Amino acid sequence: MKILVIGGAGYIGSHVTREFLDQGYAVTVLDNLSFGTRRNLFDEAVFVHGDIRHPLQLREIMAEGFEGCVHLAALKAAGESMVKPETYAEMNLAGTTNILNAALSAGIPNVIFSSSAAIFGSPDYLPIDEEHPKHPENFYGFTKLEIERIMEWYDRLKGLKYASIRYFNAAGYDVEGRIQGLEMHPQNLLPVVMETAAGVREGMKIFGDDYPTRDGTCIRDYVHVSDLAAAHVSAFEYLVEKKESLAVNLGSETGVTVLEMIHRAREITGRTIPADAAGRRPGDPAELVASSGKARELLEWRPRWSDLDTLIDSTWQVYRKNFDLT
């Protein structure tokens, strides 16, 4: 079966591409390489350099015929989205509409969409299940929620089947070392910890140590990117088999504090990782933890690599290699 992976040269997209290839699918990757990198491409997959803001280009590619399209191409910096909503609207909202319209006209029946825990905003209760009220607190999260709603309408009106996969905190790298591309200027916790361990940064900041948590730092639910990738394939198979759309939360269901991450990273890497407490980062909820019961039930999804040590070690192996460290 043929799958189009849009955003397949990015950090999550390359892991999703790898998983579809491993499962025997024929994959075409479309990416504009603004955040993705050629290093994340695989010889077995066809690569098309293109942009979701160009509807004609999308139609041309999709006319080749695919059983499914995975859409991971988006801007994802929550803070930036509050300053540049128009850029986020153009890329995330208009870009996705282009994809959905092209899929409809090409007769692609199934779309797998990268959604985010950001659609929920600050939690009313924990763990966050699929029924949790959705009140995004940044424009990025709003774009993800709006796309989910557009897809609901397209399903109702046009029969397009979709799977919305709401990632919690994606982390880790392919444990076999087949993906080596680093994200440029990362802001997320684990890559920042790794850059500090590698000496690329002199030190890092802990954003807030006075939260009402066990050690005062924020709790997040880190889920291995290969576990996320496996869920994309299962979700596609679910759509093909059941012909019913679905939305699932994907997390490891385990909360880890910022300090726990840093301490364990020091032990695993054997490096100092200087980290100083700084003020809270605006918009950070104290705790976010997923309930992934629905994914476990409907997709038979079981995280295999989302324990803290594998998350840290698989990432460190990539940073170590990239920076020639022993």
Of 123-131, 198-206, 230-238, 309-317: span binding ligand UFG (CB under 6 A): 198-206
Nearest residue to the partner ligand UFG, using Cβ = 218
**Whole-number minimum distance, CB 205 to ligand UFG, in Å?**
5
The alpha-helical segments, DSSP class H, found in 23-71 are 55-62
| Nearer CB in complex with ligand UFG: 45/128 | 128
| Nearer CB in complex with ligand UFG: 44/124 | 124
Site residues for ligand UFG, 199-238, by CB under 6 A, read 204-207, 218, 220
Residue 93, token pair as written in the block = 């909202």
50-to-53, 133, 162, 247 alpha-carbon distances in Å:
9, 36, 22, 27
Cβ(226)–Cβ(237) below 8 Å: no
**Whole-number minimum distance, CB 224 to ligand UFG, in Å?**
14
Cβ(123)–Cβ(132) below 8 Å: yes
The angle at the Cα of 74, spanning 66 to 162, to the nearest 5 degrees, equals: 45
**Whole-number minimum distance, CB 211 to ligand UFG, in Å?**
8
The alpha-helical segments, DSSP class H, found in the chain are 11-22, 55-62, 78-83, 85-88, 95-106, 139-158, 189-198, 225-242, 258-269, 293-299, 308-322
**Whole-number minimum distance, CB 62 to ligand UFG, in Å?**
27
Query: Residues 164-183 vs ligand UFG: string with x where CB under 6 A?
Result: ----xx--------------
| Nearer CB in complex with ligand UFG: 110/252 | 252
Site residues for ligand UFG, 72-131, by CB under 6 A, read 76, 78, 116-118
Please identify which residue in 6, 189, 233, 256 interacts with ligand UFG, judged by CB under 6 A.
189
Residues that bind ligand UFG (rule: CB under 6 A) add up to a total of 21
**Whole-number minimum distance, CB 256 to ligand UFG, in Å?**
9
Q: Please name the residue that has the structure tokens 């092209």.
A: 102
| Nearer CB in complex with ligand UFG: 50/141 | 141
Query: Residues 276-315 vs ligand UFG: string with x where CB under 6 A?
Result: -----x--x---x---------------------------
Q: Is 125 a catalytic residue?
A: no
Of 41-49, 64-72, 185-193, 296-304: span binding ligand UFG (CB under 6 A): 185-193
Q: Report which residue type is found at 199.
A: G
Catalytic residue among 140, 173, 222, 319: 140
Report the DSSP pairing between strands 2-6 and 26-31.
parallel
Q: Which of 32, 85, 89 is nearest to 57 (CA)?
A: 32
Q: Residues 6 or more apart from 155 whose CB is under 8 A from it?
A: 161, 162, 245
**Exposed, middle or buried, 297 (CB in 10 Å: 0-12/13-18/19+)?**
exposed
| Nearer CB in complex with ligand UFG: 9/193 | 193
Site residues for ligand UFG, 7-66, by CB under 6 A, read none
Which residues, listed in sequence order, are joined to residue 116 by a DSSP beta bridge? 167
| Nearer CB in complex with ligand UFG: 160/206 | 206
How does DSSP classify residue 94? I
Question: Could you tell me what percentage of the chain is helix, strand and coil, using 3-state DSSP and rounding each to the nearest 5?
Answer: 40, 20, 40
**Whole-number minimum distance, CB 273 to ligand UFG, in Å?**
11
Kindly list the residues in this chain that would bind ligand UFG in the complex (CB under 6 A): 76, 78, 116-118, 168-169, 187-189, 192, 204-207, 218, 220, 258, 281, 284, 288
What are the residue numbers of the active site? 140
